[in-house]
Amino acid sequence: MSALNATHDPALQSWVGSANLPGTDFPLQNLPFAAFRRGGSSDSFRGGVAIGDQVLDLGALHQLGVLEGLAAQALAACAQPTLNEFMGQGPDASGALRAALSAALRTAAPLAARLRPLLVPQAAAEYRTAARIGDFTDFYASIHHATTVGRLFRPDHPLLPNYKWLPIAYHGRASSVGVSGQEVRRPQGQVMAPGAERPQLSATQRLDYELEVGVFVGRGNARGDRVSLAQAERHVFGLCLLNDWSARDVQAFEYQPLGPFLGKNFATTISPWVVTLEALAPFRAPWTRPPGEPAPLAYLDDPATRAAGALDIRLEAWLESARMRAAGLPAQRLSQASFRDSWWTVAHMVAHHTVNGCNLRPGDLFGSGTQSGPHPHEAGSLLELSAGGRQPLALPGGETRTFLEDGDRVILRACCERRGFARIGFGEAAGVVLPARPP
């Protein structure tokens, strides 16, 4: 697991003034990575790092030739249109580049004058997914979400027997993963109305969001080799925000016996910025189980994970309707949760995914599954917040919601805060709902 080092020093300040402002997502202690280019240009995408409200162009920095050694090798990989090669170099390479960037961006750094022209305002940048995503696996790691949703459909047995023993997941659709700003066309599928004997092909009326953490794989593993829990985080590059849009009525009819299909594969939105595990080192927390719960099997248990395997990330979901935008009303926060409450950690996901010899590759993406807390206001989806559509939520201007309507914009945000350390943010994963296409 990443240890604290000089890059985490809360006293560090940057010559980029906006990085020193209270409440910024991107202080010098963060330095998350993305793939970007100037908006409206025909430039090639390349790697960038967030500092305050700016993006440092890593492709242009590579051309300057001012870094050396392992940091220079990592920087060269960041000059490519996607960050797969950089992610695959592993934590030693990303750590070396992070240290070099931290030194170059500090107040009074000798390179400041040469780097200042390489800054691009984030508002003027265009983003793509940070990596070329070969495979996407979505987990179901929040026991609070699983219990609440299970209770809606199986009041007497909300959790299935395997839940507490293994990280449940399904393989999603990598081709429909898009970056923040994604437009989501209301999908169609077969829906079985209550009491009906025959399904109908129709646009979903129960479109939902899911408040999730995304996990980008760094170093891969050879097919047939498993990754131990103790080594799992050395195969993880970093985390982002992830919204796995869901058509609940389509999902309800199709999911037995093989799980989600059309109810999930039409769109997944992630944030452009990937926060490295090293940046999150100050926000480690013990991974615990309540008394009386079964101990995990040996391959899903080790002392380091128990001591500091959890991450204390505060997650939020916000909603802005078309009417709210027209009236100039701000988005309304629907819920908040903590990734610390997850039943399974990032390391568990990697270890279980590979225990059968499955080969992961740099840039593969995991979703944590909807993250919900133990209290009703900590639910990470409208399915939970509206009690399956029975309890509408009030919005400003007299609107209500049980599920998403056309024109709704969903915004996911997250941050880490701990006394004695700089606040770390994740930016946003936002998407807007478009009407269904005509039949």
* CA dist., res. 61 & res. 7, Å (int): 20
Pick the closest to residue 339 from 169, 212, 218 (CA basis): 212
Q: Give the CA-trace dihedral at 116, 120, 121, 125, to 10 degrees.
A: -170
Those residues whose C-beta lies under 8 Å from the C-beta of residue 120, and which sit 6 or more positions away, are 36, 38, 48, 54, 55, 57
With tokens 């925000």, the residue in question is: 241
* CA dist., res. 170 & res. 268, Å (int): 14
Active site residues: 145
* CA dist., res. 265 & res. 130, Å (int): 20
Residues in the chain: 439
